[in-house]
Amino acid sequence: MRNYLVLILFVLVFKLSYSQFNEKELSFTFENVSRLEALQKINSDTEYQIYYLQNWFTDSLIQKKYTNKNIEDIIADLLEGTTVNYFLYPPNKIILTNNNTIYSNLPEGFFGKDSAKVQTVSASRKVTPIFYAKGDESASKNVETIRVGREIGAQSKETYTLSGYITNYESGDPIPDMTISTNDNRLLAVTSFEGFYRIELPVGSNILKFRALGIERAEKEIIIFNDGTLDLEFNESLEQLDEVVVEGDIYKNIEETVSGTEEIDSEESKTIPLVLGERDVLKVATALPGISSAGEGATGFNVRGGKADQNLVLFDGATMYNPQHFFGIFSAINPFSIGQLEVYKGNIPAKFGGRLSSVFDIKTKDGDNSEFKGEASLGPVTGNLVLETPVVKGKSSFMFGARGAYANWILRSMKEESLSKSRATFYDGVANYTHQVNENNKIKATAYYSKDNFSISSDSLYIYDNSLVSLRWQHKFNDKHLSEVQIANSGYTFNIEYERGANNDFDLGYKINETEARINLDYLHSADLKFNYGVEGKLYSVAPGTLEPLNEESSVEYNSLAKERALESAAYISANYSITKKFAVDLGLRYSTFMALGERTQYEYEEGTPKNQGTVRDTIQYGNNEVIETYGGPEIRAGARYLITPSLSLKAGYNRSIQYVHILTNNTTISPIDTWKLSDLNIEPQTGHQYSFGVFKNLDANAYEISLEGFYKTSDKVLDFKTGAQLLMNENVETEVLQGEGKSYGVEFLLRKNKGKLNGWLGYTYSRSFLKLDSEFEEERVNNGEFFSSNFDKPHDLSMVANYKFTKRFSLSANFVYQTGRPVTVPVGNFTFNDAEYAVYSDRNSYRIPDFYRLDLGFNIEGNHKLNKVGHSFWTISVYNVLGRNNPYSVFYVTENGNVEAYKSSIFSIPVPSITYNFKF
Amino acid sequence: MPTRNRFIFLLVTGVLLAIGACTEPFEVETTDFEDILIINASITTETKRHKIFITRSYQEGDDEVQVSGATVEVLVNNASSIQFEEASPGVYQSTVGFAAEPEVDYQLKVTDEKGETFASPQVQLTAPTAIDQITAKRVLNEDGEDGVEIYVDGTSTGDNEGYFRYEYEETYRWESFYKPLQGFRVVSESPPLLEIVYKEKEERVCYVTETSNSILIAETNNLSEDRVEDFPVRFIERRDRRIAHRYSILVKQYAQTRVSHEFYQTLKSFSSSDNLFSQPQPGLVVGNVRHVSDDSVKVVGLFEVVSFTTNRFFFSFQEIFGNDIPFLDDCGFDRYSSLSDPELFQRVQSGQYKYIGEDPPFVYQVAPAGCVDCTLYGSNEVPDFWVEQ
């Protein structure tokens, strides 16, 4: 705006000078030169001096031939089709202006009414020159002035039509639903789905306001001289308000090419009442369709009927092996430290791999680089603190989070005997450093550590920890080409310390570690075609078991199973292509390989016999880094989206993935002391296919989102175990392993309301999940080799999360869950052995425990929002399981005093109230 | 903006709480019952007529199903065989007494009453072991209960796989609450009349014997020595009647194979609930007995030939607990003023009530038989092995 001109010229001598420019006849030939060059030529070859700015002209080439023309005709012709006007200033100056016309006389009444002069208005045309004066400085702050068209000597109309496309500056995507209004809030137009607008503007200066959700508010001054087109680009909103962030994606659910993704905002989840007042994004995830856990106290998640080891949990890009504390009751992720959790349960982008069912992509938030901030909470079980501080203001920041638990008092107060003997302590810490080196380079380093100690009986202590570090460098080559280089290391270890004071006190340890390097590139070819490609490599190292004496009195012999090592690598490319405005595809191909590496001993088993120690045929020694076995294959990730209307779309997807590492567990639900096993000579990788289809619809100006998705999944070489398998410290663990087929299918319905006083969602899933373990040998067969319900096959799953805001400060939230009871294995009879009665089991999962339902209520009180307050507080008073429903978690058959007794156990059988205090500063 | 003075945080929390995790009895609707043959065959180094137990699975609430009419034999070195005959339904006893011998291949063959034949692989006797000592110590157990724990130390004296199994037989002195020297005798039934005579039978002190029925297994294969130390075989609460006076335990130690160990280990893990959060996946526990031709015929069978050794241990209450309070018995009584009282007569006649004394004279006190007659629980004969303090 500062370079705008006020141009008023007083030209006194007119008639005379005018004639001078017509006297001379000139001849020019311009062959493939730019207008600028043509003007330069005229400047140098004639006596005329032409004044102009170079940037008014484009580089487009012209072909013109003038023979004996006067200079005015030549200039007028040269400027045809540009926004540049000319003014002939005697004796030999030609002044060019952009947009404006230089008037040789002032309009009527410019100096007030001249009563002495009698004005005669010329015949038919009324000339309305356009002058604009520098307006009020403060009002026009940041208002860019755009000139449209060229003023021609005589303006014929009072309004002109302006049209064009409005796009997002960063993504190049059209901005739909953007309102264009005048300064006095009169609505002129709303952009179409393609970002197109058409408005009628009064000739001259117009201040226009542009508003769209998720887009920076903008005002522009449009000076219109003619009908014209104007394409505009706007930045995304930089405001940190959640509402804006969320609503910026209003059509994301409709438009995204891939289906089966869920996003959870940590801040958004704070009002959802959860057990013991613990905010937990992972628990919130299980309230969404397709994601569930086997039960209230179960570790792990089951996504679309997949096993709990088929989920890749990424924490700032590094694998997190166990994201939960104390079995599944608490999340190991500090809710204040994370920004967002994205769950891919359908189409997994090609850049992710290594697990069959889902990817939980958790990103920590960057520390605030402008001021020191913090957030703390105190609940009945944990205390939590997150601090953010700038290091170099505006450039780099540090974020630190710590959380500790004091759960023992709760366990002690439990009536349940087996729990009152339990002890549990856990803590976790996270730190990250973000440095915006310059516009094109950003570095982020993250470190995380969590540790759990728990005991179920007095002689055994279980300890497990997760640790990870990741370093990520984002580099922008140019606006179209972005790269991300990451190195990460993560590990999981557990120990079982057994101490009874006799000669067999031991410490059993397990350790898995992976080091990963990845280069991920995004190439935005155009608004319609985007590529994502890269390579990654991962080196695994597993110490599958180490047994050592716990103390000097112990005569336990040190024993360590041979280390397992492997290299998993992958290259991938995916293209997101909008073939038409309505039809878009996302085609990805990932090729992964896995090499099990020495140094190791592997056993070969007789073919045609069940694997056991008696059927070992050969023992093979592999040297250091010698390849034991190579697995690999293409993984296709394909998705397509068709927009029927801007708010209704159909999506379909196909997904193939390969998983090379497996959890070994012989429990009905996984536990923290289950080991991860790498594929090797005898254990093959799991593969999975998923077909999905969905309909997505937004209603009522995007206040409601509705989706209906269906999926069908098959998997192969899924791991299971022989009855009573010994998995710890077993050198021949493959003899205990069965590999079978998995099958699941389902329909997921989600209704989400994002706006208004009442918001939340209602999800319903009907799905089935089966497993088949067949073999020619009876001992390797389960349920006669037929498909049977998996441990987490819960056909009906309904969940509702609702939050009602009474005022800005008070809100009530409710959370309701209904699920079919999970399958359990019950006896097919009893038998007596050595004077005691035992249950005999045969068919797996032939019975279901009673259905599960639970209602939780929470009341949230926000502190007041006075600006000068030191901080902001937030109270949550919640009651978990308000109905006091005694939901069975499992059933078991115990031989007590020689008789079989059946019991069912539940984790939270009565209402559990709690108060949590959060403070932000 | 100044941030330092914005750093204040105070945290308050009030909480409630008595979490209600709970475990409660549960009735399962009858599911598909499966009839499975159960074979329990353990041959030991004890010279006796060994017994093999053959039963079938039964439905919850039903009685045990004993298999009658099966043919049972143990092949020795694939040449000779030891025949077993049906001693009672479900119990098959060797026709001759024998003890398992080392370096001999034994194989079990069973043809059930339906004609299906099952066999074990050939198994050999495990190496001998010794029980080094048995000790008893006062402890607080997992549940915080005060009591005595009995430990055993055992060593393998030969080349074993490092798996031990224990059973025990406990015998304790039972003293009746009332110890009258006299009792009622029926003089006539009609009219009802009783008289008081000196008792001929010892009813005051008896010896009760009970056998273990829990799975007690230990493994030493991770240790540098094939030795079990302080293995807890039995915990008894201080105020349990078993240890009120004098207590004796006969510990039986078996050296078992890995196959047996895994069988018992699995059976044990499926029949206990250690961890509420993560349960083992139960399935059919198969031992080493299989159908000879049809893999799909289900059978739960364990055949083992195991070395066996025993040791006995005694203690009295005071040795462990000093002068602390032991089991306290309590019995009520009723009074009758006439020896011809029809109600008294009827009670005595039924055997439910016994005479305990007269107070005041000619007012007859009676108590439930269990308070007077210890032979209802055990034997009034002092066992041969019994050693008083």
Residue A379 forms contact with B (CB below 8 Å): yes
Residue B275 forms contact with A (CB below 8 Å): yes
Q: A198 with A228: CB under 8 angstroms? A: no
Over residues A272-281, the pLDDT tens digits come to 777 677 788 8
Which residue has 């290594």 as its token pair? A354
Give the A:B interface size as CB pairs under 8 Å. Answer: 305
Residues 81-140, chain B: which have Cβ within 8 Å of A? none
Query: Which residues of chain B are within 8 Å of residue A902 when distances are taken between CB atoms?
Result: 25-28
- pLDDT surpassing 60 at residue B382: yes
Closest-CA residue of A relative to B271 is: A894
Q: Are A892 and B279 in contact (CB < 8 Å)? A: yes
φ, ψ at A125 (rounded to 5°): -100, 140
Of the listed ranges A249-253, B8-12, B95-99, B381-385, the one predicted with least confidence = B8-12
Query: Which residues of chain A are within 8 Å of residue B25 when distances are taken between CB atoms?
Result: 901-903
Comparing CB atoms, the residue among A376, A667, A670 nearest residue B9 is A376
Q: A261 with A304: CB under 8 angstroms? A: no
Comparing CB atoms, the residue among B8, B21, B231 nearest residue A908 is B21
Q: Are A914 and B15 in contact (CB < 8 Å)? A: yes
Query: Which residues of chain B are within 8 Å of residue A777 when distances are taken between CB atoms?
Result: 295
Residue A846 forms contact with B (CB below 8 Å): yes
Closest-CA residue of A relative to B288 is: A779
Longest dimension (CA), chain A: 131
Quick one: pLDDT at residue A780? 84
Bridge partner residues of A549 (DSSP): A506
In which band, very low, low, confident or very high, does the pLDDT at A364 lie, cut at 50, 70 and 90? very high
Q: Are B34 and A828 in contact (CB < 8 Å)? A: yes
In which band, very low, low, confident or very high, does the pLDDT at B83 lie, cut at 50, 70 and 90? very high
Q: A917 with B11: CB under 8 angstroms? A: yes
Residue A708 neighbours by CB distance under 10 Å: 16
Q: How far is B278 from chain A (nearest CA, A)?
A: 6
- pLDDT surpassing 50 at residue B5: no
Q: Which of B15, B164, B277 is the best substitution to test chain A (most A C-beta atoms within 10 A)?
A: B277
Over residues A10-60, the pLDDT tens digits come to 333 333 344 456 667 788 888 888 888 888 888 888 888 888 877 777 777
Residue A845 neighbours by CB distance under 10 Å: 22
- pLDDT surpassing 50 at residue B207: yes
φ, ψ at A749 (rounded to 5°): -120, 135
Q: How far is A51 from chain B (nearest CA, A)?
A: 51
Over residues A859-888, the pLDDT tens digits come to 989 887 665 566 788 888 988 889 988 888
Quick one: pLDDT at residue A244? 36
Over residues A791-846, the pLDDT tens digits come to 999 999 999 999 898 988 898 999 999 999 999 998 889 999 998 999 999 889 98
Which residue has 């915080």 as its token pair? B144
Q: How far is B288 from chain A (nearest CA, A)?
A: 11
Over residues B114-164, the pLDDT tens digits come to 999 999 999 999 999 999 999 999 998 877 889 999 999 999 998 999 999
Residue A889 forms contact with B (CB below 8 Å): yes
Bridge partner residues of A873 (DSSP): A919
Q: Are B8 and A839 in contact (CB < 8 Å)? A: no
Q: Are A503 and B26 in contact (CB < 8 Å)? A: no
Give, in order, the Cα–Cα distances in Å from A169 to each of A215, A235, A591, A862, B327. Answer: 10, 5, 34, 36, 86
Residue A841 forms contact with B (CB below 8 Å): yes
User: Which three-class secondary structure string do you get for A441-496?
Assistant: EEEEEEEEEEEEEEECCCCEEEEEEEEEEEEEEEEECCCCEEEEEEEEEEEEEEEE
And the tokens for B331? 């019995």
Query: Which residues of chain A are within 8 Å of residue B220 when distances are taken between CB atoms?
Result: 504
- pLDDT surpassing 90 at residue B112: yes
* Integer Rg of chain A from CA: 36
In which band, very low, low, confident or very high, does the pLDDT at A124 lie, cut at 50, 70 and 90? very low
Q: How far is B297 from chain A (nearest CA, A)?
A: 9
Q: Under DSSP, is residue A823 helix (H, G, I), strand (E, B) or coil?
A: strand
Over residues A386-419, the pLDDT tens digits come to 999 999 988 999 999 999 988 777 666 665 665 6
The highest-confidence range among A124-133, B59-68, B239-248, by mean pLDDT, is: B239-248
In which band, very low, low, confident or very high, does the pLDDT at A242 lie, cut at 50, 70 and 90? very low
Query: Which residues of chain B are within 8 Å of residue A841 when distances are taken between CB atoms?
Result: 270, 282-285
* Geometric angle at alpha carbon B154, from B148 and B155, rounded to 5°: 165
Amino acid at A669: T
Q: Is A701 left (phi over 0), alpha (psi -120 to 50) or beta?
A: left
B288/B119 Cα distance (integer angstroms): 8
Quick one: pLDDT at residue A142? 53
In which band, very low, low, confident or very high, does the pLDDT at A910 lie, cut at 50, 70 and 90? confident
Q: How far is CA A738 from the centre of its chain?
A: 36
Q: A686 with A631: CB under 8 angstroms? A: no
Q: Are A904 and B3 in contact (CB < 8 Å)? A: no
Over residues B300-357, the pLDDT tens digits come to 999 999 999 999 999 999 999 999 999 988 898 999 988 889 999 999 989 899 999 9
A456/A119 Cα distance (integer angstroms): 104
A203/A208 Cα distance (integer angstroms): 13
User: Which three-class secondary structure string do you get for A601-654?
Assistant: EEEEECCCCCCCHHHEEEEEEECCCCEEEEEEEEEEEEEEEEEEECCEEEEEEE
Q: A216 with A237: CB under 8 angstroms? A: yes
Residues 411-450, chain A: which have Cβ within 8 Å of B? 413-419, 421
Residue A81 neighbours by CB distance under 10 Å: 12
Q: How far is B134 from chain A (nearest CA, A)?
A: 14
Quick one: pLDDT at residue A905? 81
- pLDDT surpassing 60 at residue A116: no
Residues 14-43, chain B: which have Cβ within 8 Å of A? 14-28, 31-36, 38, 40
Run of H or E residues at B258: helix B258-270
Q: Are A298 and B9 in contact (CB < 8 Å)? A: no
Q: Are A723 and B21 in contact (CB < 8 Å)? A: no
Q: Are A829 and B58 in contact (CB < 8 Å)? A: yes
Comparing CB atoms, the residue among B9, B60, B298 nearest residue A921 is B9
Comparing CB atoms, the residue among A378, A418, A841 nearest residue B282 is A841
Number of H helices, E strands in chain A: 8, 57
- pLDDT surpassing 50 at residue B386: yes
The stretch A227-250 carries a mean pLDDT of 60
Query: Which residues of chain A are within 8 Å of residue B9 when distances are taken between CB atoms?
Result: 374, 376, 871, 919, 921
Query: Which residues of chain A are within 8 Å of residue B288 when distances are taken between CB atoms?
Result: none
A242/A267 Cα distance (integer angstroms): 8
- pLDDT surpassing 90 at residue B383: yes
A33/A38 Cα distance (integer angstroms): 7
A854/A881 Cα distance (integer angstroms): 5
Residues 449-478, chain A: which have Cβ within 8 Å of B? 456-458
Q: Are B27 and A902 in contact (CB < 8 Å)? A: yes
The stretch B264-289 carries a mean pLDDT of 86
DSSP state of A154: S
Whether a cis peptide bond, with omega within 30° of 0, leads into A634 is no
Residue B57 forms contact with A (CB below 8 Å): yes
Query: Which residues of chain A are within 8 Å of residue B34 when distances are taken between CB atoms?
Result: 828-829, 840, 842-843
Query: Which residues of chain B are within 8 Å of residue A377 when distances are taken between CB atoms?
Result: 11
Bridge partner residues of A805 (DSSP): A811
Torsion sign across C-alpha atoms B192, B196, B202, B206: positive
Is the pLDDT higher at B265 or at A423? B265
Quick one: pLDDT at residue A413? 62
Quick one: pLDDT at residue A8? 33
Which residue has 């020795």 as its token pair? B76
Comparing CB atoms, the residue among A327, A373, A778 nearest residue B278 is A327
- pLDDT surpassing 60 at residue A119: no
Amino acid at A472: R
Residues 604-623, chain A: which have Cβ within 8 Å of B? none
Q: Are A418 and B23 in contact (CB < 8 Å)? A: yes
Average pLDDT, chain A: 83
